[in-house]
A and B are shown apart, each in its own frame.
Chain A
Amino acid sequence: MQTPSQNQGILCPGCVPSGKAITRLRQALVLAMTACLLALSGCQPLIVKPAHPSTMYRDFSSHMSEEKRAAITRVAIAPGDTGIAFIASGSQYGKTGDEVAEGVAAGVDAALSPDGSGEGAIVYILMLPIILPVAATVGGVAGAVEAEQRENKKEAADALIASANGQVANVLLAEEIQKHLSELDGVTGEILRTPAADTTLSEIDADALLNIRILEISAEVNEHSRLGVSVEVELLRLPGGEPLYHEVYGSYDTRSMQSWTANNGEAWREHLRLAKIRIGERIFQNLFVLLEVRHVLKPVATESYADFKQAKLNTLTPELAWDFTLLGDDRHLASPPEIDEDDIAWDLQILADGQQLYRRTSLAGQRHQVEEPLGSCQKLTWSVRPRYRLPQGERVGEWMTVAAADRGDTVPPRADFHLMRTPCLKKKSS
């Protein structure tokens, strides 16, 4: 066994052994370990690379299988009639009792708005947990309902009560899904107006029953605003009730919730409207039309759109192009489809602030010149998705997104499309 001095002699022949040898060796060891850690950290992926801004890749499926889709042509949609859980947190509501009372009134008005959408009711129910503690001093919700009844606004009072029970919100979501179904060949959807609990499955004249239940709406209002909506979806085969599909969808929206009661709760309405649209679309796609095959889809530079980072266009009618590769080996699917790559059509969308500005469906080829001039000086987003023509009908792939896709049960408020900025054209002086 070597002594420290012998050991040091090996390292450094001719060195004078010293009483401080061990101390120095320790120092050297600490330094060496530091160097070792530094060297290692240089090759560790401790910082996750941002997703490549050009494509989507998926190797799992969140959609219902074709085998299950095959036997469904008539769908009964049952909106949930159970209460919705509300979770509110945060301290920066910034509203006084009087302002909240005005908000209550605005909620009722919006619920009975001329467009008949009833979306104001959702605004109202979302406001309930925030209103309740504050509004106690001005009569509270019960007082608001009583006031409406006194003024013979029974409909308004009913709307409030229905909203609180969650019926209105669920019906609106059901209607959103029904709207999508009406655009699909070979499948129809009817909304059950009587509560599902009061109906036996054998009485329902349809191939499948789609139960939709909004489970929870959560609002966090402070410097980090966040609106969350979760929805449980269950599809049962009729008349037996065999489960075909079950998923809980989560939608989140982190846009600012400042000024939430301004303009009759416009901000709330907008948040919830988008949540309804996005969740409804996602449910419809996963159940009936989405086909998640492994693929890479990314934009291709054109003369008018070349720099994806700056995303500056040089014309108001840009040419958009994309590259698509099917990767094959779709073992995540029960029965991988045979897709003819030469027979894929394309849907294209351009959005302005999340709203659809331009849409083309079933385009041939992987290149498209925008046919109507876009507005100048606009920040837009765009995307394409494949449309596969299969023996069982048309199926669509996911929209091309900037980041790698989340699981299909997570629904962001806005599709994560590719950015493009239209040029700012100077107006001609007269």
Chain B
Amino acid sequence: MSRCPGARALSLLLAAALALSGCTYIDTVNHYDLDHDQLERYKAIEIVGAEQRANGHYRSLGEIRGLSCLRNLNAQQYPREEDAMDQLRLRASRAGATAISPPICQRSTEMDWANNCWQTIICAAEILVEETPP
């Protein structure tokens, strides 16, 4: 008796794919996770505007995001943009960047399941490496 034997498996696969695609976890980087060179880079990371970028030699390493999160309602440590920016700089530094594009920060008071947060501020930017001109 054919009762669509593949339907359940297909449903499972779709759901898992959907869940995974929504799984945009942003890890938190601690300052002490970085080695000395990475910390020095973190301190020196600059925000490069369009004009400066056009005049310089920057290579893009992709996009990166930094998260500030309200994880415990009782703690009342609400997300702060400066913390999200700090995370952005830490993650950029760890990825080898020396500069970032002007970041865009977004506050959300919606539950963020992927990051286990009641509220979030997420800052995103393109991470760049300045290269010596040929």
Residues of A within 8 A of B (CB): 8, 11-12, 15-16, 18, 20, 24, 27-29, 31-33, 35-40, 42-46, 52, 54-57, 294, 296, 298, 323, 325, 327-328, 331, 404
Contacts and interface: CB of A to CB of B under 8 A. Distances in A.
Interface of B: 2-4, 6-8, 10-12, 14-16, 18-20, 22-23, 25, 27-28, 30-34, 36, 39-40, 42-43, 82, 113-116
B114 A40 contact: yes
Nearest to B20: A39
A12 B115 CA distance: 35
Contacts of A54: 32
Nearest to A328: B43
Given A32-B12, A32-B14, A57-B32, A40 B19 contact: yes
A16 B2 CA distance: 7
B16 to A, nearest CB: 5
A273 to B, nearest CB: 33
24 contacts: A8-B7, A11-B11, A15-B4, A16-B2, A18-B3, A28-B7, A32-B11, A36-B15, A36-B19, A39-B23, A40-B19, A42-B23, A43-B23, A44-B115, A45-B115, A55-B31, A55-B32, A57-B31, A57-B32, A296-B34, A296-B39, A325-B43, A327-B39, A328-B43
Given A38-B19, A57-B32, 20 more contacts: A11-B7, A11-B11, A12-B10, A24-B7, A27-B8, A28-B8, A31-B8, A32-B11, A32-B14, A32-B15, A35-B19, A36-B18, A40-B22, A44-B25, A44-B114, A45-B28, A296-B32, A296-B39, A325-B40, A328-B43
A35 B32 CA distance: 35
Nearest to B6: A12
Contacts of B22: 40
A16 to B, nearest CB: 6
Contacts of B18: 36
A33 B28 contact: no
A407 B53 CA distance: 42
Contacts of B15: 31-33, 35-36
Contact of B12 (A35, A43, A294): A35
